[in-house]
Structure 1
Amino acid sequence: MIISARRSLATVVGLGITQIIGYGTLFYSFSILAPVVGQEFAQTREWLFAAFSGTLLIGGIVSPWSGRWADRFGAGRVMTLGSLAAALSLVFCAVSTNWWMFAAALVTTGIATPFILYNTAFAVLVQVDPQLAPRRITYLTLMGGFSSTLFWPLATLLLDTFTWREIFLFYAVLQVAVCFPIHFWLSQMTRRSAKMTHNASPQPPHAMEAGGSLQYDDRKTALVLLAMGFSLTSFSLSSMLIHFVPVLGAVGLGASSAVFVGTMFGPAQFASRLVNMLMGGRFSAMTIAIGSTVMIPLAFMMLLLPAPIPLIAGAVMFAILFGMGSGLNSIVQGTLPLALFGHQGYGEILGKITSSRLIVSSVAPFIFAFLLEHFGPTAALVVVAIIGMLGVMTFVVVARLVKRSGG
């Protein structure tokens, strides 16, 4: 079902609001609220983030189902139910009376996340208008990038007046009062599109009919390679995102310098998405994917530059490259599968890729922390840089498959 460009743009704005709230309430606020939660339950930071990693793991396990249901019932309807599930899980967190209840409730938020965050939001845009979807995905990630910018200070401000339990309840209200109505509105647009796509999806003999650039026989191999490439890249990204400031301190930066460098990550991420919005049409999704993936290991290498180059200069380059790579990676997670496989079965394909990516993301911070503690920052950075390069190589192999298919 193709709708007017104006209504399609309204869809992006609505989704942008729900993505800001979704990521803000379920992800970014946790690092701010974790210390007071840990203080009440007498738990260490390690246990708190172990429980949080459980949300990523369960999200990875659930993602294939969210993708299939998005294709079958409409991504908007899936997001509508996801809003209620997210609100319920946040209420469970707020009313927990002990650590184990809280940890279990926190993990249940991971069940809701695949239904309301980027992977299903991308499916909404594809179902609303497959032709405009790649550009709309760029707009959406540009808006979603404000989530941390808004919710880190918001959570800090709320803690000055309210308890962490009251904040979780407030977040649940946001899911019901803001996200639910928007998702319900979107469900009316995507229901018919999903039904038509689902009825037409049984293995078309000519893959190009769905808009994909891959021949049908190459799709299974490409899907495995794509999931592997995004997972390897996600390992490098997740490792550093959790340990950003501590790693900068471990390589020799002072506390104030590390915080200063850390502030450059967000603007670099935003800038890369803005440039892609303005100029991305000149490059294929495959080219942008390879370019963004190269930036990740290259960023780590900036922290390993030899002594004559000032450490602060290398750290600044690290933050800029890492932010740009992360920003573009969020976009190609949605645009590259669409370019390669087309819009038929898009939700399920994205769900499978997201599943692999989230499962790897859930263990990456612990592996990196182990390397950092037992082998030092240099060895840890070398390892994640090598893993990042393996991700680059995987995408290069996918690009060769595309070229062989004539795409």
Structure 2
Amino acid sequence: MAALAVTQTIGFGVLYYSFSVLLTPMSRDLGADASHVSLALTTSVLIAALGAPVAGRWLDARGGRVLMTAGSVLGTLALLAWSQVRTVAQLYTVFVAVGVASAMVLYEAAFAFIVARFAAPTRARALLAVTVVAGFASSIFMPLTGVLTSAYGWRQALVILAVLYGAAAIPLHALVVRRPRAGRTLPPAPDPAPAATPVPGRARGGAGERAALVRTATRQAAFWLLGAVFTLHGIGVATISVLLITYLIHLGHPPLLAASVAGLLGVLSVTGRLITTGLQRRLPAALIAAAIFALQAVAAALPLIGATTTGAIAAVVLFGLGFGVGTITKPYLLTERYGTTAYASLSGRLALPATVAKAASPAAALAVAHAAEYG
């Protein structure tokens, strides 16, 4: 878990969060509008979404060692290629590779390994450990990228980040993400599952068993209701992440205060994950998630109370507590209902619409605001 916490933190830091820091110097160097350059990150997110179901089938069938190690190599090479781009078209091409690498190494792949490796009580703690540490990726790598860019320029900063990522992620994924030895069965998780689910809780099943489970699950309304829940939650989180600072300034707050209030989201996401995992020992996970999502809905009062500093902080705190809850609740609910045999395949099915929606939602929100003539 320590190894995965390191690789997820560095992976999110360099493959995702570094982009916002490099956007301005990249745009200036490439002679392109920032809005055009920013589409590269959207491209990466969409490619990762499209790759999630494919990666899920591989993870269920063959485990994560080869996939995550190869993804680490690809991510390192993509970062090096990113440092050498001279046109926006080249940047888009590189970010296709970044998206493929992200599908191979980030949360979906790491969670699939954790679900297969650990029984239910330990699994929740393992998911928490990884996501709590990785939750600080933006807090670590956005300032670090800024320091490197100021000292060496954005191209050299990317080379340094690529070396850092490759030196950590490639050997750790190769050595730590191991499949069970032949003849050894991992401890079964005491996960209740529908009667149609064959042998729930086993770390690995046959291809026919996994395919049958996927067919059974995807024919159930409950599976797609879960998909709708996490897609809608992802839309809210993505929209607030991108537009919160702009909106707080619109409400009359100084830019520094707006950025400081928005900065609470990272700490609150970790807090929400700790609270959720602690409560799961006493209450159903679905009930906890519903309660926290309800708190986030109360935060929709931001337009009414956000003009004051206290009101803005209160709304952001309410919303921020659920910021990372979807990340750790989805694996729990999926394994609770369907077992672990086809977890990665089912998770990949849910990740595709959710990630596409998250990628498009900030721009869609702005389009709605424009159409409504809202300032």
| TM-score > 0.5 by shorter chain | yes
Task: For 1:172-183, list aligned pairs within 5 A.
Answer: 172-183=162-173
Residues 53-95 of structure 1, C-alpha deviation per residue, up to 9 Å, x if partnerless?
Answer: 1111111111000111011110232211110111121122112
Query: Shift of the alpha carbon at 1:233?
Result: 1.2
1:169 counterpart letter in structure 2: V
Instruction: Label 1:190 to 1:176 Cα distance change in 2 as closer, same or farther (>3 A).
Output: farther
More deviation in 188-197 or 81-90? 188-197
2:55, 2:348 within 8 Å by CA — same for their partners in 1?
A: yes
Q: What residue in structure 2 maps to residue 257 of structure 1?
A: 257
Q: Would the aligned equivalents of 2:69 and 2:173 in 1 still touch at CA under 8 Å?
A: yes
| Maintained 8 Å contact 2:234/2:357 | yes
Following superposition, the deviation at residue 206 of structure 1 comes to: 4.1
TM-fit CA distance, 1:242: 1.3
Query: Structure 1 residues 242, 208: CA separation in 2 closer, same or farther (over 3 Å shift)?
Result: same
1:17 and 2:16 correspond:
no
What's 2:209 paired with?
none
Is 1:167 aligned to 2:157, yes or no? yes
Correspondence 1:302 to 2:309: no
| Equivalent in the alignment of 1:397 | none
* Residue 88 of structure 2 is aligned to residue 91 of structure 1: no
1:348 alignment counterpart: 345
Q: Is the 8 A contact 1:32 1:152 kept in 2?
A: yes
Shift of 1:14: 0.7
| Separation of aligned partners in 2, 1:340 and 1:349 | 11
Q: Give the secondary-structure state (helix, strand or coil) at the position aligned to 1:304.
A: helix
Partner of 1:105: 94
Deviation, structure 1 residue 192? 5.7
Check conservation: 2:264, 2:317, Cα contact below 8 A.
Answer: yes
1:337 and 2:334 equivalent? yes
The offset of 1:314, in angstroms, is: 2.2
Could you say what the CA RMSD is over the residues aligned between the two structures, in angstroms?
Answer: 2.7
CA distance in 2 between counterparts of 1:232 and 1:144 reads 23
State the partner residue of 2:116.
Answer: 127
- Segments of structure 2 that go 5 or more residues without pairing to the other structure are 188-192, 203-212
How far apart, in 1, do the equivalents of 2:36 and 2:183 lie? Answer: 44
Give the counterpart letter for 2:125 in structure 1: R
CA distance in 1, matches of 2:183, 2:241: 37
Whole-Å separation in 2 of the counterparts to 1:124 and 1:270: 21
Which ranges of structure 1 fall in alignment gaps of 5 or more residues? Answer: 1-11, 198-202, 379-407
Q: What displacement does 1:28 show? A: 0.9
Give 1:143's aligned residue: 133
The equivalences for 1:369-384 within 5 A come to: 369-375=366-372
2:105 matched residue in structure 1: 116
Name the counterpart of 1:270: 270
Q: Which amino acid aligns with 2:44?
A: T
Provide the C-alpha distance between the structure 2 equivalents of 1:211 and 1:311, rounded to a whole number of angstroms. Answer: 50
Inter-partner Cα distance in structure 2 for 1:193 and 1:204: 27
Q: Which deviates further from its counterpart, 132-141 or 357-366? A: 132-141
The structure carrying a bigger helix percent of its residues is: 1
Runs of 4+ in structure 1 deviating by more than 6 angstroms, as ranges, are: 193-197
Amino acid at match of 2:308: L
Distance 2:352 2:343 in 1: 14
The aligned length equals 357
Letter in 2 for 1:50: L
Structure 1 pair 78–153 and aligned structure 2 pair: CA distance change class (3 A):
same
1:361–1:310 Cα change, 3 Å: closer
Q: Evaluate the alpha carbon distance shift between residue 152 and residue 71 of structure 1 in structure 2; reply closer, same or farther with a 3 A threshold.
A: same
What is the deviation of 1:193?
9.4
1:360 alignment partner in structure 2: 357
Give the deviation of 1:172 after TM superposition: 1.9
Does structure 2 retain, via aligned residues, the 8 Å contact 1:73–1:194?
A: no
Contact preservation (8 Å) 1:219, 1:341: no
1:208 Cα shift? 7.4
Moved more, 255-264 or 272-281: 272-281
Relative to the length of structure 2, the TM-score reads: 0.87
Is contact 1:53-1:362 (8 Å) kept? yes
